[in-house]
């Protein structure tokens, strides 16, 4: 085996390990992989950044902007309000949510469609007393299926289309995925609605702030007597009296409650502080600062809410600046005017020192702050508000205009009048010109880590092909299963792609598997389309873990799921996809061997 093949395999293995252990962000890992294949000479220097000029990268960005524009128009909110009025139990609600998110994901970014319907699902959970865990995992999984139906349903479809164009000179068309995607979607949704949701573990206490967080464990009152060492000192000096730190939720002075007092506030005799901290911090503070515990009053949610201050749940998304950062690191209180009251991760409320907890994607936070300021701050931080999110009724003109622009872009691409990338960039620009989306929202809606992942991993995939690594793996598969029927070859390719997608980002899985599929098809004298279709369908089936797809991660905190909850439903769905997908792929995209 040539040195170049050894090098690319070593780089790919290290890249996959870094993806799985998650010590670095996936966009950083992809850039490291790009630098590795460039500096080792596996790809020419002039090709190092060719991936960023790939039309697929531009199209992904444009689709994200169009999705944001549709969100702004209010169309999803109008549909959502009708949804919550429908009567029925868990089966009916799961069916409605899954059907709606699958339709939306056909034409919108699937992560965006889950984010839009997540508050609706939580509202239904509260109103109808259905465990949120029964609704949210089916919601996330159903979004995967919608992404299988059209070229713009998910970034992996665009990437595989790019590989097809490089291989045979023609990209996939807008609805080339539909015959296979629709069949898999229908069968899988029927299974989820009738049986699947019953396999999801029942997680209690995820339907409201009161259920989600036990505020009493963290919040208490202390009073400043004339002997207190805090008299005359500023709030910013409070933490010098304890090693672990405390958070002042409010200050009561002369029966007037001041929520989230400013750091420069000076303490006076008789002040009562509502503080939030762990037991050790409370003990240190009372002893060192000579404070009196006010033990007779029970702190309730209402004590933390006024006309100017409210509580809000928010989930940390993959694109949030909060990921791998802490409340103190981003100066949450001083810069954004927000108090962090609790953190909920994988079904458990974290009881470490809150200002030092490093946030992870999928964490649910309990926050206190001014309602309007908090909404703006969460948007800037890239986190999604969950609790009691208001559904907006879009103006009819905005809905009609946004749909007109979006449908026009789809038709221009579907009828091959202009290339897909040009059609959707034109649609995004039209949304900006008609003020359906602001320039600030344009840049905020684009998932930059995903674009970097795409741009960086495309040349890595090229390196796998240029070095002969893809052909080596294809030859190995041929030797191990020379007599395999086309159906078994397609099944093996799908299973391997699913396995990779469950461990790493599904985009990375496609970039790695596409060259192998092309080499294998060419070696067997079969159709490249068959194996590319198998790869792209399987890449959307990351159902076994919360890390394989952002939709899975997004619902993890609100649903109270643990890491091992996903495979219970996911393994059966992946089996269904293989059993249904293989005959459909061979029927519509014959291998021809």
Read off the pLDDT of residues 143-180 as tens digits, 9 standing for 90 and up. 999 989 998 888 889 889 989 998 898 999 989 999 99
**pLDDT score of 579 more than 90:** yes
Distance of CA 236 to the CA centre of its chain: 36
> How do 272-276 and 256-259 pair as beta strands?
unpaired
Determine the average pLDDT of the residues in 507-518.
Answer: 88
Read off the pLDDT of residues 328-338 as tens digits, 9 standing for 90 and up. 888 887 788 78
List of residues 6+ apart from 12 with CB closer than 8 A? 33, 460, 464, 469, 512
Separation between Cα atoms, residue 561 and residue 358, nearest integer Å = 19
Separation between Cα atoms, residue 162 and residue 147, nearest integer Å = 17
**pLDDT score of 493 more than 70:** yes
**pLDDT score of 382 more than 80:** no
Determine the average pLDDT of the residues in 343-359.
Answer: 75
Distance linking the first and last C-alpha atoms of the chain: 28
Higher-pLDDT residue of 490, 546:
490
Determine the average pLDDT of the residues in 253-257.
Answer: 81
Read off the pLDDT of residues 74-120 as tens digits, 9 standing for 90 and up. 776 677 667 777 877 889 999 999 999 999 889 887 777 887 788 78
**Residue 397's pLDDT band (boundaries 50, 70, 90)?**
low
Read off the pLDDT of residues 277-316 as tens digits, 9 standing for 90 and up. 766 677 778 888 888 876 544 555 555 666 567 777 888 8
Read off the pLDDT of residues 42-87 as tens digits, 9 standing for 90 and up. 999 988 898 888 888 888 888 888 878 887 887 766 776 677 778 7
Alpha helix (H) residue ranges in 172-278: 178-194, 209-212
- In Å, the largest CA–CA distance within the chain is 91
Specify the pTM.
0.71
pLDDT of residue 205: 44
Q: Which region among 175-179, 391-395, 407-411, 419-423 has the lowest average model confidence (pLDDT)?
A: 391-395
Give the range with max mean pLDDT: 198-212, 344-358, 398-412, 447-461.
Answer: 398-412
Tokens in use for 97? 């949510």
Torsion sign, CA atoms 30, 32, 35, 40: negative
Structure letter (DSSP) for residue 54: -
Can you list the domains of the chain with their CATH numbers? 3-206+403-588 (no CATH), 210-304 (3.30.70.1450), 310-385 (3.30.70.1450)
* Average pLDDT across the chain, whole number: 82
């Amino acid at each position: 085996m040539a040195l170049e093949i050894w090098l690319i395999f070593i780089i790919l293995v290290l890249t996959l390990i870094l993806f799985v252990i998650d010590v670095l962000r996936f966009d950083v890992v992809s850039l490291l992989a790009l630098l590795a294949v460039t500096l080792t000479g596996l790809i020419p220097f002039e090709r190092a950044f060719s991936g960023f000029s790939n039309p697929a990268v531009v199209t992904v960005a444009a689709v994200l902007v169009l999705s944001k524009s549709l969100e702004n128009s209010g169309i999803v909110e109008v549909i959502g309000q009708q949804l919550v009025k429908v009567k029925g139990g868990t089966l009916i609600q799961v069916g409605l949510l899954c059907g709606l998110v699958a339709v939306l994901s056909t034409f919108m970014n699937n992560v965006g469609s889950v984010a839009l319907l997540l508050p609706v699902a939580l509202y239904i959970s509260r109103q109808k007393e259905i465990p949120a865990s029964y609704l949210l995992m089916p919601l996330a999984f159903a979004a995967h299926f919608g992404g299988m139906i059209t070229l713009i349903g998910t970034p992996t479809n665009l990437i595989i289309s790019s590989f097809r164009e490089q291989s045979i000179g023609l990209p996939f068309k807008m609805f080339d995925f539909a015959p296979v995607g629709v069949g898999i979607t229908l069968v899988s949704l029927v299974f989820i609605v009738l049986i699947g949701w019953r396999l999801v573990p029942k997680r209690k206490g995820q339907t409201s702030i009161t259920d989600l967080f036990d505020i009493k464990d963290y919040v208490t009152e202390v009073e400043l007597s004339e002997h207190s060492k805090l008299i005359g000192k500023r709030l910013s000096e409070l933490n010098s009296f304890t090693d672990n730190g405390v958070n002042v939720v409010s200050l009561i002075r002369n029966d007037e409650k001041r929520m989230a007092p400013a750091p420069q506030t000076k303490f006076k005799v008789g002040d009562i502080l509502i503080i939030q901290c762990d037991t050790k911090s409370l003990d240190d503070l009372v002893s060192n600062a000579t404070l009196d515990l006010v033990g007779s009053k029970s702190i309730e949610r209402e004590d933390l809410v006024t006309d100017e201050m409210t509580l809000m749940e928010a989930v940390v998304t993959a694109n949030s600046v909060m990921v791998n950062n802490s409340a103190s690191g981003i100066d949450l209180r001083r810069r954004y005017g927000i108090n962090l009251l609790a953190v909920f991760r994988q079904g458990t409320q974290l009881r470490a020192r809150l200002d030092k907890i490093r946030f992870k994607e999928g964490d649910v936070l309990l926050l206190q702050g001014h309602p309007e300021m908090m909404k703006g701050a969460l948007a800037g931080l890239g986190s999604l508000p969950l609790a009691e999110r208001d559904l907006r009724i879009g103006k009819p003109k905005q809905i009609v205009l946004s749909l007109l622009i979006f449908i026009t872009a789809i038709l221009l691409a579907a009828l091959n009048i202009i290339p897909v990338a040009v059609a959707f960039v034109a649609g995004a620009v039209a949304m900006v010109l008609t003020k359906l989306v602001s320039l600030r929202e344009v840049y905020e809606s684009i998932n930059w880590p995903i674009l970097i992942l795409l741009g960086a991993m495309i040349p890595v995939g090229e390196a796998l092909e240029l070095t002969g690594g893809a052909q080596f793996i294809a030859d190995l598969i041929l030797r191990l299963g020379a007599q395999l029927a086309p159906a078994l070859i397609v099944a093996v390719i799908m299973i391997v792609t699913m396995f990779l997608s469950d461990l790493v980002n599904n985009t990375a899985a496609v970039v790695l598997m596409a060259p192998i599929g092309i080499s294998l098809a060419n070696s067997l004298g079969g159709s490249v389309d068959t194996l590319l279709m198998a790869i792209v369908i399987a890449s959307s089936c990351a159902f076994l873990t919360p890390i394989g797809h952002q939709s899975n991660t997004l619902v993890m905190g609100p649903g109270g799921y643990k890491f091992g909850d996903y495979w219970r439903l996911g393994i059966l769905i992946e089996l269904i996809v293989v059993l249904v997908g293989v005959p459909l792929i061979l029927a519509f995209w014959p291998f021809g061997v």
